Structure 1
Amino acid sequence: MYSVSHYFRISFFLLAGMSILLLAGCRTEPYPKDFEQLSEDERIVIRFSHVVGEDTPKGLAARKFAQLVKERSNGYVEVQVFPNGFLYKDGEEMEALLNGDVQMIAPATSKVTSLIPEWSVMDLPFAFNSYEEVHQYINGPAGKKLISMFDSHGLQMLGLWDNGFKQMTNRNFPIHTPEDLRQLRMRIMPSEIISKQFLVSGAIPKEIDFNIVFHHLENGDVDGQENTLSNIASKNLHLLQNYLTISNHGYLGYVLLVNKEFWEDLPESVRDLIADALLEVSEWEWKNAHKLNAEKLDELERCKCIDIYHLTEEDRKLWEQSFQPVYEYYEDRFGTEYIKALPKNKKEAD
């Protein structure tokens, strides 16, 4: 025989259990407000891999994006940022994204040209005079067509972050004219158009991953390189070079890419949250990139640790004329559509 207290305990637990079930059935939210208590399997995790330092425009923006998404989703969506090629190196991250090993990357525009060669229009020398012109181009018909090309490769482009305009450094002598590049071994990013621009100047282009450029400069494997001021300073490349030419000869930006299958599987509310966060961060990143590059130039001028030369307007005209064969090479491969849409060519047509 069971005692009255025994039946009372059973009744209590049954009522408690029914109350919990009733409360659960009345919940409008499937999870508690603070999602950080959930395991990684229960949250949405986005692994964001990139190859530059944390104090660069891309590195800072990636961290801000991760923080914003975490706050606005109450921890339900977590962006895990892996900088400095920690997960995947320069030539590895695209394959990792396509395979779903990471969900998001932000490669330089030149890095996507192996997948979509038409994107090398962004690498054409002196194609853009300002960041505004770049954004205008990407948001125009030609840019939208370039963006749509990612779809057939299983990728979704979510935006474009600025890094800056590229400058040239070397250890041998000042670079004032295209002739000064002759026989110089110059590190470049993987891009057929960038390679062509140095070849027509008589230089010897060397494709080297960004994370090991310092090592190759230190060993004397290359004489110089081209990059933005923030990248040059963050990797201390200027400490191994004697001369810096402020040429602004090419734009360097980052394409924000996600795995398309992963993106389409996300709830619409999460996609909206990410898109809104990226829009806000992108506007912040553009301003910060411009400011950071200006600050780095000021630091380099004050340190007197490298000889700095600024191209004059006359210099620039000479450089543009010398690079005309690069434009002709692009046109032979892809036609005139993307070149005619460049802001400077549209102005001439108007």
Structure 2
Amino acid sequence: MNYKYIITGTCAFIISSTVSAQEITLRMAHFAAETHPGHEAALQFAENVSQRTNNEISVELYPANELGSPPEQLEQTVLGVVDMNLPTQGGLDKYVKAFGTVMTPFAFDSYEEAHRVLDGPFYDWVAPQLESQGLVLLSNWEYGFRHITNNERPIETPEDVKGLKLRTPPELQIVAALEALGASTAQISFPELPNALNQGVVDGQENPISVIYHYNLNDFQDHLALTRHVYNSMVHVINKNTWDSLTQEQQTIIKEESLAASAMMREAVMAQEEEEIAALKERGMQVTEPDLSLFVELMGPARARVAEHVGQDNMETFLNFLD
């Protein structure tokens, strides 16, 4: 059989000149831009799975919310309409509350600590719970620490956040962190964010550096504060029925290539952040690095809201994983 890997428009996939009775096509959706390391990791995953299975498995990629919003994509994956997805913990906590603990404000001091916890005790804790909801956890990828941008003023202290109206995704953890700092929040879908910023519906927003950079949010925002208020990552999941339909050898290949894509994305995100911050400065953004200890001191109410949301027992289990 003669296969080749191609990209057409926003959909990357593998095609063949002949059709095998054993051929399997897996549909994989995610929300990252095509220039984002998340999509680059997905491309690597798709290509390597095809090669290692001798083209018995092809992976169709649907990036940048092509198949709907992140919650819609995840629901499609649970239902088996889409085979694989890359939600964040904030999406998965709708199905397993324990995932929501990861986004506790200022939980992690570094990428290294986050990776150690997520790949170790956290994985062992949540993976069985997720299977009961129809999903298999393959690996934790990356997204990053989240930071605040706005058009009103530079942020040097928590006082500078007070009074700002900031767009957030619907995750309670992010809302709670910003409201504890005195901001008001508005939940606006990401595709509508540039227009909301341009029209002054909100003063600012928060996202990882890679999102701010790759979606050119500097076109609408003057100030970037490196607040690191919440960490989250893309999480590679597969529909359990799809997973169970694969041979053990195919499962091993998919799991190994998911882990390889995770390592690639993590390295890329961490390596590129300093370059992207420098590029944002060159584009005209004013970047501040506030003393985060002052922000942490105000997180009591936010962490209490998160504990209520995820369950106190879940929160205590998660905190025991931290250094």
Using structure 2 for the length normalisation, give the TM-score.
0.89
Matched, 1:104 2:80: no
* Counterpart in the other structure of 1:229: 209
Partners of 1:137 and 1:341 within 8 A in 2: no
* Counterpart in the other structure of 2:297: 321
Partners of 1:33 and 1:74 within 8 A in 2: no
- Looking at structure 1, the residues matched to 48 and 120 of structure 2 have their Cα atoms a distance apart, in angstroms, of 28
- Looking at structure 2, the residues matched to 147 and 206 of structure 1 have their Cα atoms a distance apart, in angstroms, of 32
Q: How does 1:81-120 map to 2 (within 5 A)?
A: 81-120=61-100
- Report the residue type matching 1:121 in the other structure: T
- Report the residue type matching 1:282 in the other structure: S
* Counterpart in the other structure of 1:177: 157
Shift of residue 47 of structure 1?
0.7
Partners of 1:50 and 1:106 within 8 A in 2: yes
Partners of 1:247 and 1:310 within 8 A in 2: yes
Shift of residue 182 of structure 1?
2.1
* Counterpart in the other structure of 2:285: 306
Q: Deviations over 1:32-51 (max 9, x none)?
A: 58692333875211111111
- Looking at structure 2, the residues matched to 53 and 293 of structure 1 have their Cα atoms a distance apart, in angstroms, of 16
* CA distance 1:95–1:317, shift in 2 (3 Å): same
* Counterpart in the other structure of 1:202: 182
Partners of 1:104 and 1:256 within 8 A in 2: yes
Gaps of 5+ in 1: 1-31, 345-350
Partners of 1:163 and 1:253 within 8 A in 2: yes
Matched, 1:261 2:241: yes
- Report the residue type matching 1:316 in the other structure: L
* Counterpart in the other structure of 1:62: 42
Partners of 1:65 and 1:278 within 8 A in 2: yes
- Report the residue type matching 2:301 in the other structure: P
Shift of residue 161 of structure 1?
0.7
Partners of 2:172 and 2:306 within 8 A in 1: no
SS in 2 for 1:325: helix
* CA distance 1:339–1:72, shift in 2 (3 Å): closer
Shift of residue 90 of structure 1?
2.3
Partners of 2:2 and 2:18 within 8 A in 1: no
Which of these residues, 274, 282, 298, is aligned with residue 294 of structure 1?
Answer: 274
Gaps of 5+ in 2: 4-14
Partners of 1:57 and 1:292 within 8 A in 2: no
- Looking at structure 2, the residues matched to 261 and 45 of structure 1 have their Cα atoms a distance apart, in angstroms, of 14
- Looking at structure 2, the residues matched to 142 and 84 of structure 1 have their Cα atoms a distance apart, in angstroms, of 28
Q: How does 1:339-350 map to 2 (within 5 A)?
A: 339-344=318-323
Larger Rg: 1
Which of these residues, 97, 112, 120, is aligned with residue 140 of structure 1?
Answer: 120
Aligned length: 309
Shift of residue 325 of structure 1?
1.8
* Counterpart in the other structure of 1:164: 144
Measured on the aligned residues, the alpha-carbon RMSD in Å equals: 2.0
- Looking at structure 2, the residues matched to 188 and 69 of structure 1 have their Cα atoms a distance apart, in angstroms, of 35
SS in 1 for 2:132: helix
Shift of residue 224 of structure 1?
0.7
SS in 1 for 2:296: helix
Partners of 1:126 and 1:320 within 8 A in 2: yes
* Counterpart in the other structure of 2:265: 285
Partners of 2:119 and 2:140 within 8 A in 1: no
Matched, 1:187 2:163: no
* Counterpart in the other structure of 1:347: none
Q: Deviations over 1:94-141 (max 9, x none)?
A: 111112111001012212222222222111111111111112112333
- Looking at structure 1, the residues matched to 258 and 318 of structure 2 have their Cα atoms a distance apart, in angstroms, of 28
* Counterpart in the other structure of 2:19: 39
* Counterpart in the other structure of 1:28: none
Seq. identity, %: 28
Partners of 1:181 and 1:202 within 8 A in 2: yes
Poorly superposed stretches of 4+, deviation over 6 Å: none
Q: Deviations over 1:229-269 (max 9, x none)?
A: 11011111111001100122221311111101111111111
- Looking at structure 2, the residues matched to 40 and 80 of structure 1 have their Cα atoms a distance apart, in angstroms, of 17
- Report the residue type matching 2:296 in the other structure: E
* Counterpart in the other structure of 1:330: 306
Which of these residues, 243, 246, 251, is aligned with residue 223 of structure 2?
Answer: 243
Partners of 2:2 and 2:16 within 8 A in 1: no
- Report the residue type matching 1:268 in the other structure: Q
Partners of 2:28 and 2:59 within 8 A in 1: yes
Shift of residue 215 of structure 1?
2.1
Using structure 1 for the length normalisation, give the TM-score.
0.83
* CA distance 1:116–1:40, shift in 2 (3 Å): farther
* CA distance 1:280–1:140, shift in 2 (3 Å): closer
